[in-house]
Amino acid sequence: MRTLGSSLVLVLVACGPTEQPTGPIRTCERVLKFAPAKSLDAVNVRGEWNAFAPEPMTRRTDGTWEFRKTLEPRANGYAYRFDLGADGLILDPSTGFTRWLGETEYSRLFAPDCSAPLLEVTNFLTTNAGSMTVSVTASLGTSKSPLKPPKLTLDGEVQPAPFDKLTGVFTFDATGLSQGKHTAKITLEDEAGKTAEPVLLPFWIEREPFKWEEAILYFVFTDRFRDGDTSLNKPTDNVPTQANYQGGDFRGVTQAIEDGYFDKLGVRALWLSPPDANPDGAFDGSYGQKYTGYHGYWPSQPRAVQSRFGSLADLKALTKAAHARGIRVLTDLVLNHVHEQHPYVAQHRDDGWFNIGNGCVCGTNGCGWEEKPLVCSFTSYLPDYNWRNTAMGDQFAADTMWWLEEADLDGFRLDAVKHLDHIGGRTINQHLAKISAITNTDYYLVGETFTGVDGRSQIRSYIGPQELDGQFDFPLYWPVVQAFGRGDSLVQVDDAVRASEAYYTPETLNSPFLGNHDVARFISIAANQIDSDANGQAWSNNKPPATIESDEPFQRTKWAFAFILTQRGVPLIYYGDEIGLPGTGDPDNRRPMKWNNLTSREADLLDLMRKVGTARKQSRALRSGVRDTLIIERDLYVYQRATEDDGAIIAINRAGERTVNLSLQRALSRLPVTLKDAVSGASVTISTSGQLTIPARSTMVLIKP
């Protein structure tokens, strides 16, 4: 979903055998290109390499502008902007890589050590039949030290790859690859010991190309999901159970994958809570209680897995099991802060890596969550990252790419986006884009910006081809809770959907949701079990019982999920919501998953979820079709989703039986049409008049058989 601008081009000089018998040699020349939206008489570059004095770009015959410069290697690269004269100074629109100097943001031109060798992929091709071909050019560094043969691994195994030293070219072909995800990696070293930047090539062999809009995303809160290895269970002394480690781990998630639990729900992607090591011990939390880092949001080590969740090998086994079934895996990425025990705090407290000294604790006097979002710390023991520090950003990006490779991940959920400078999301995006540009492997970056119903502008400000693919849809969540959870009019839900359709670009992949780890459980809202202070209630004696013993909350949850799972984007299921797990606020909304002895109501809700999730998996219209409202009333909501050759109708009826005439569109306009109700299993024929009978208090998800 992301693009990588070509503001930086590595120029290779291909020398013949007579001039240079040891292969091509890289240069230190950097190339900038600019395609203006309108005709310009002149464009200058103002760069850090000469104290931002203007230097002219050259206009090419196609109307674009080009600038070439040989630069000395520099760790931070060079800041620059384009000078458009009367139109002012702008960032380079072709790249999302930037750096801050003082209070000004500039585009960033990287200047690596060109004395080291270089790897460049010249061809990469895969087929759904299980083949892969890669061609790579290996260039000497300017030091001209001879190259050792490049090394290529496929899924961790070293592979032979013929290497022609005269041309610097080597190729590799593989056939008979299994369905699922694979990774090739190429490394290069010269005789002087200098190494090229490795080339990572993750790719999928799939019969049908995957699109993120096809996915249902399931949030696995690791510690509370499933206990697969009791030897890892190490709760902290003197901490209340609900704020302590309770035994969920990576092996438990892997077991659920291999049991087919997610397949039955139609789930195509998993979001894991942060896998990072968190500190041992207990720390002060809200309402005078002690908390552990069971949730994962207090990173205390770089590139280290939380031992209570398992090992890195366990995490790799999880992603491998998921990938074998075509399921993508995201992990939560904590970009805003680390725990005070993290070694970066001691190493860089005085280096500008953290907003220490000019920051404050969010929510305290003069330091509101919205007042100083970029510098406030969530609590005193969570130092806040300063993303305007280039060295800090580079280290975090390197750590993130380590997780991506080592755990074989498919994207990230970015925590607390509104507390980050935009450079944070853009930096992660652009590093992923470097891989996508070669392999077409599509990563998903979804952000969390906790807003109210009017938060679309704040959410959209972080979305774009160089930043996030989408965010969790809070402006839709609140009307859904009000209408489906509390029984208010469904009209407000349709109003919210239409508003979002008009506001976001078609490429936006937001995630509609019914619950997450920061809000009260939907079914407890539907059961009217939530006090005015849900988080305080979590520590009171007035928490919801373990099981809800009435039909109406489950019926409301069915209606709500039928709506959520048939919306555009990447719908989210928060673990346990599919069986009606109760809970107030944090941490009561993070109860252990219930696996056995489901009540008939819980089993019935799970059955509905599986039917609708499977319908989305089977119906291209439900995954990617255009949405049209057909009928919207207080207690009746009928809409369709359709492509040019596929269609689906969703009907949610909270009142008595209704017979309605539908003005169907696109693929469904050619009447009569026979569809299958994914919920009841019945065939339903819509006559030439478009007539449809909707049973009382029912849900219908009609898809083409």
Domains of the chain by residue range: 28-111, 118-205, 212-611, 621-703
CA angle 179, 182, 185 (to 5 degrees): 160
pLDDT at 358: 76
Beta strands (DSSP E) in 274-429 are 283-284, 290-291, 328-333, 360-361, 376-377, 411-414
Tokens coding 674: 């026979």
Q: What number is the average pLDDT over the span 600-628?
A: 97
Q: What is the rounded average pLDDT of the residues 512-526?
A: 98
- Residue 546: per-residue pLDDT: 96
Q: Of all residues in the chain, what percent are helix, strand and coil, respectively (each to 5)?
A: 25, 30, 45
The average pLDDT across 335-341 equals: 97
| Dihedrals phi, psi of 479, to nearest 5 degrees | -65, -35
pLDDT band (50, 70, 90) for residue 9: very low
As a whole number of angstroms, the distance between CA 67 and CA 31 comes to 6
Distance CA 412, CA 1 (A): 13
Whether the bond into 587 is cis, omega within 30 of 0 = yes
- The pLDDT of residue 12 is above 50: no
Q: Is the pLDDT of residue 5 over 80?
A: no
Comparing 28-111 with 212-611, is the CATH topology the same?
A: no
Looking at the predicted structure, is the pLDDT value of residue 21 above 50? no
| One-letter identity of residue 546 | A
**Mean pLDDT, range 546-550, rounded to an integer:** 96
Q: What does the angle CA 31 – CA 112 – CA 117 come to, to the nearest 5 degrees?
A: 100
User: Does 118-205 carry CATH code 3.40.50.10790?
Assistant: no
Instruction: Give 376's strand partners.
Output: 360
pLDDT at 339 over 90: yes
Cα separation of 339 and 353, whole Å?
14
* pLDDT of 231 higher than 60: yes
Partnered with residue 12 across adjacent β-strands are 26
Q: Tell me whether strands 54-56 and 12-13 are parallel, antiparallel or unpaired.
A: unpaired
Could you say which of 2.40.160.20, 3.90.180.10, 2.60.40.1180, 3.40.720.10 is the CATH number of the domain covering 621-703? 2.60.40.1180
Q: Which amino acid is at 577?
A: D
Task: Give me the residues paired with residue 31 across strands.
Answer: 68
Q: What percent of the chain has pLDDT over 90?
A: 95
pLDDT value, residue 2 = 53
Share of the chain above pLDDT 70, in %: 97
pLDDT in tens, 436-464: 999 999 999 999 999 999 999 999 999 99
Statement: residue 497 has pLDDT above 70: yes
Does domain 212-611 match CATH 3.40.50.1860? no
Quick one: pLDDT band at residue 1, thresholds 50, 70, 90?
Answer: low
pLDDT in tens, 358-416: 789 999 999 999 999 999 999 999 999 999 999 999 999 999 999 999 999 999 999 99
* Nearest-angstrom CA–CA distance, 48 and 67: 14
Out of 39-43, 161-165, 324-328, pick the least confident.
161-165
What tens digit of pLDDT does each residue of 274-326 get?
999 999 999 999 999 999 999 999 999 999 999 999 999 999 999 999 999 99
Long-range Cβ contacts of 500-504 (<8 Å, 24+ apart)? 500/456, 500/473, 500/475, 500/476, 501/568, 501/627, 503/456, 503/460, 504/456, 504/460, 504/463
Angle (CA) 507 508 512, round 5°:
140
- How far is the C-alpha of 575 from the C-alpha of 515, rounded, in Å? 9
With contact defined as beta carbons under 8 Å apart, do 248 and 190 qualify?
Answer: no
In contact, 41 and 56? CB cutoff 8 Å: no
* H or E element at residue 431: helix 422-439
- Res. 13: pLDDT tops 80: no
With 0-12 / 13-18 / 19 or more C-beta atoms within 10 angstroms meaning exposed / middle / buried, residue 683 is exposed
Decide which of 2.60.40.10, 3.40.50.150, 3.30.70.2750, 3.40.50.300 is the CATH code for 28-111: 2.60.40.10
Exposure of 68 in the CB half-sphere (CA atoms within 13 A): 8
What pLDDT sits at residue 359? 82
Cβ neighbours of 452 (radius 10 Å): 10
Give the pLDDT confidence score for residue 205 in this predicted structure: 97
For position 357, what pLDDT does the model report?
Answer: 82
630/662 Cα distance (integer angstroms)? 6
Mean of all residue pLDDT scores within the chain:
95
CA distance 462 to 424: 10
pLDDT at 18: 40
